[in-house]
């Protein structure tokens, strides 16, 4: 009898990911402790100077800014996305449509969507043109290349990452629990904070993780909406591999970014597992 | 849940939907605007679309994107489906590790994945181009396909496969004639999404493309950075149209296990 061996099922995918995901990460880690090559690349010799260099206030500022924006974006996405997820879960007739309208931007070209933001925000963009013609302002407002533009772009870009997991956990919520709490005299607000919110926590955690991690590693948003002044970690990394040609330093920053992501993932796993029935 | 949200919540939700969709709608509308420099509506035109056909770099980029998309989708879908079958139907050691290996590329920042691949390609002396782009796209798509196909497999009735085995089919035959046909919609949906991710990718691609093999997103990115002409609106509209169609199709295919739940 011909048997499909488990190894045969596993081999191609695992090998590919081993060769083209795990191995590159290890090489990157290796590159981060080597000397800098003259024309890009690396030169032999162990050093920790690239990690020391990251402690320079200049780079610490970028690190801090990135963390702050990622946190702000996550908080804003939660505040805006939770009501959306809840409304979708409550609705019967329009549920499919409402959901599809979240799924669509989830998958459509991030680049195109970011360009749509530029089209609105730039000096000759729609917002400025409208305000000028209405006589509200006399000179175009600087909207693009500001922290505001980047934050707006992050929220706009990653909001669906929050809505979908929160919706998934709200959908599973047993209506009987809400009825029970209502019967026992809970007002809507109390009901929300003691029943709905705690039970949707897994979705909130998953969504927050996705938004936070995506914002942390974002490159396109800050490059296109932030310009040269609003640099985030991702732009710093890219710069070391293109204009600055300092691969080891770029690898070191990149490794720190990966560590931050891993910490966030582990934290979310810990938050999610211990107390399922509180 | 069947409570009705309060008015102010509905209002807020409405605003959020506007935020999500209005910018793109405006972009689409102005791809038909005759004026070149202003966002004042001066009349309907298809001129910007016609101009796209005159741009050799866009067409060449499109050709490369389609090639990379096809190659990487086929391989990633194959590899991902096999992994999904193993995860859903087999017991083996190192299962948790494999789940981690599939999950990690999804949360890894693209910039990190991109530069680590660049370091690898340069280290082994592989020339940057279509091949390296395809390798990278396969790597980041395997996990997505595996997750989607696995969800489908786990929602599937196993009794048909068992019946085939009881009736004397060997395992390979049962897999080929029962499991795969039943799984087909899931596999196809996974493939469509893999294609979209490949077709849209900018960050990883730009790092491993080298010079002279710019895909469509790379060409569009440089257009966006210079950002004057409404042709950018036109090409954006076309990209949106194509990907939206594919997403809609994938969602149909996954009706019992909608896209929304599959990815989260």
| pLDDT tens digits, A197-244 | 999 999 999 999 999 999 999 999 999 999 888 899 999 999 999 888
Residue B101 resides in a domain: yes
DSSP B171-189: HHHHIIIIIHHHHHHHHHH
A229/A209 Cα distance (integer angstroms): 27
Residue A3 resides in a domain: no
- Test B39 with A117 for CB contact under 8 angstroms: no
What integer is the mean pLDDT of A132-151?
90
Average pLDDT by stretches of 10, chain B with 264 residues: 78 95 93 82 90 90 96 97 92 90 92 96 94 97 94 85 88 86 90 94 95 93 83 93 91 66 43
CA of A57 to nearest chain B CA: how many angstroms apart?
23
Q: How many domains does chain A fold into?
A: 1
What integer is the mean pLDDT of A132-161?
92
Q: What is the pLDDT of residue B228?
A: 65
A33/B162 Cα distance (integer angstroms): 54
The answer, for A110 touching chain B at a CB cutoff of 8 Å, is: yes
User: How many CB pairs lie under 8 A apart between chains A and B?
Assistant: 268
Residue A25 resides in a domain: no
Q: What is the pLDDT of residue A78?
A: 97
Entry pTM: 0.91
Q: What is the pLDDT of residue B41?
A: 85
Residue A38 resides in a domain: no
**In this structure, what token pair is assigned to residue B131?**
């091949």
Residue A9 resides in a domain: no
A234/A257 Cα distance (integer angstroms): 8
Residues of B with CB below 8 A from A14's CB?
A: 83, 98, 101
**Which residue in A has a C-alpha nearest to residue B261's C-alpha?**
A168
**In this structure, what token pair is assigned to residue A235?**
């732009």
Q: What is the pLDDT of residue B180?
A: 87
Give the pLDDT band (50/70/90) at residue A154. very high
Contact yes or no for A45/A34 (Cβ under 8 A):
yes
Q: What is the pLDDT of residue A275?
A: 54
Identity of the residue in A13, A84, A173 whose CB atom sits nearest the CB atom of B80: A13
Residue B8 resides in a domain: no
Contact yes or no for A29/A253 (Cβ under 8 A):
no
CB atoms within 10 A of CB B195: 25
Residue A182 resides in a domain: yes
Q: Which domain holds residue A144?
A: 59-272
Q: What is the pLDDT of residue B254?
A: 80
What integer is the mean pLDDT of A188-193?
84
pLDDT tens-digit profile of A94-117?
A: 998 999 999 999 888 999 999 999
Residue among B61, B53, B99, B51 nearest B201 (CA): B61
pLDDT tens-digit profile of A71-93?
A: 999 999 999 999 999 999 988 88
Q: What is the pLDDT of residue A49?
A: 93
Give the pLDDT band (50/70/90) at residue A6. confident
**Which residue in A has a C-alpha nearest to residue B107's C-alpha?**
A213
B46 vs A2, more confident: B46
| pLDDT exceeds 60 at position A196 | yes
Q: Which domain holds residue B204?
A: 59-263
The answer, for A58 touching chain B at a CB cutoff of 8 Å, is: no
Q: What is the pLDDT of residue A74?
A: 98
Residue A2 resides in a domain: no
Quickly count helices (H) and strands (E) in chain B. 13, 0
B264/B262 Cα distance (integer angstroms): 6
Residue B35 resides in a domain: no
Domain harbouring B80, CATH code? 1.10.3720.10
Q: Which residues pair with B33 in a beta bridge?
A: B44
Domain harbouring A258, CATH code? 1.10.3720.10
- Test A234 with B111 for CB contact under 8 angstroms: yes
CA of B205 to nearest chain A CA: how many angstroms apart?
13
Q: What is the pLDDT of residue B262?
A: 45
Residue B228 resides in a domain: yes
Cα Rg of chain A, angstroms: 23
Residue among B101, B116, B103 nearest A253 (CA): B116
User: What's the whole-number average pLDDT of chain A?
Assistant: 91
Q: How many domains does chain B fold into?
A: 1
Which of B33, B72, B116 has the highest number of chain A CBs within 10 A, making it the mutation to test binding with A? B116
Element (H, E) at A250: helix A247-272
CA of B121 to nearest chain A CA: how many angstroms apart?
9
Residue B19 resides in a domain: no
Q: How large a percentage of chain A has pLDDT more than 70?
A: 97
């Amino acid at each position: 009898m011909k048997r499909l061996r488990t190894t045969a099922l596993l081999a191609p995918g695992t090998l590919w990911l081993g060769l083209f995901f795990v191995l590159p990460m290890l090489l990157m880690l290796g590159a981060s402790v080597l000397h800098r090559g003259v024309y890009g690349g690396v030169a032999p010799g162990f050093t920790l100077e690239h990690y020391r260099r990251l402690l320079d206030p200049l780079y610490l500022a970028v690190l801090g800014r990135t963390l702050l924006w990622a946190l702000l974006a996550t908080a804003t996405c939660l505040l805006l996305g939770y009501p959306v997820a809840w409304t979708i879960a409550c609705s019967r007739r329009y549920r499919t449509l409402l959901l599809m309208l979240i799924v669509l931007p989830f998958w459509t070209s991030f680049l195109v969507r970011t360009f749509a933001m530029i089209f609105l925000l730039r000096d000759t963009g729609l917002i400025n043109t409208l305000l000028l013609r209405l006589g509200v302002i006399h000179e175009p407002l600087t909207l693009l290349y500001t922290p505001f533009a980047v934050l707006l772009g992050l929220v706009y870009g990653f909001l669906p990452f929050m809505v979908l997991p929160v919706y998934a956990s709200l959908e599973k919520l047993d209506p009987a629990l809400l009825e029970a709490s209502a019967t026992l005299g809970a007002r809507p607000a109390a009901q929300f904070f003691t029943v709905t919110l705690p039970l949707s926590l897994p979705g909130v955690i998953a969504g927050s993780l996705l938004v936070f991690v995506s914002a942390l590693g974002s490159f396109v948003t800050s490059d296109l909406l932030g310009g040269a002044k609003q640099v985030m970690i991702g732009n710093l990394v890219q710069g070391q591999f293109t204009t600055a040609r300092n691969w080891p330093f770029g690898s070191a920053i990149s490794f720190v970014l990966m560590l931050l992501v891993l910490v966030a993932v582990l934290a979310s796993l810990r938050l999610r597992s211990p107390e399922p029935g509180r | 849940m069947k409570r009705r949200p309060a008015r102010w919540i509905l209002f807020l939700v409405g605003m959020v939907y506007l935020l999500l969709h209005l910018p793109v709608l405006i972009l689409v509308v102005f791809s038909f605007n005759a004026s070149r420099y202003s966002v004042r509506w001066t009349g309907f035109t298809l001129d910007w679309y016609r101009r796209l056909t005159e741009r050799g770099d866009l067409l060449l980029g499109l050709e490369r994107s389609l090639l990379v998309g096809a190659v990487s989708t086929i391989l990633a879908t194959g590899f991902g489906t096999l992994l999904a079958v193993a995860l859903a139907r087999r017991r083996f050691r190192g299962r948790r590790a494999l789940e981690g290996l599939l999950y990690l590329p999804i949360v890894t920042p693209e910039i990190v994945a991109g530069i680590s691949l660049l370091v690898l390609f340069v280290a082994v002396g592989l020339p940057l181009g279509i091949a390296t782009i395809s390798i990278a796209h396969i790597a980041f798509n395997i996990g997505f396909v595996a997750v989607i196909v696995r969800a489908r497999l786990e929602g599937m009735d196993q009794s048909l496969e068992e019946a085939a085995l009881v009736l004397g089919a060997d395992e390979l035959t049962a897999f080929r004639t029962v499991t795969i046909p039943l799984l087909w919609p899931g596999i196809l949906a996974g493939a469509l999404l893999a294609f979209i991710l490949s077709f849209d990718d900018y960050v990883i691609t730009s790092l491993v493309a080298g010079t002279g093999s710019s895909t469509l997103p790379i060409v569009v990115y440089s257009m966006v950075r210079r950002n004057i002409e409404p042709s950018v609106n036109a090409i954006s509209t076309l990209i949106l149209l194509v990907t939206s169609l594919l997403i809609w199709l994938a969602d149909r295919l996954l009706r019992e296990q909608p896209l929304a739940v599959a990815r989260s």
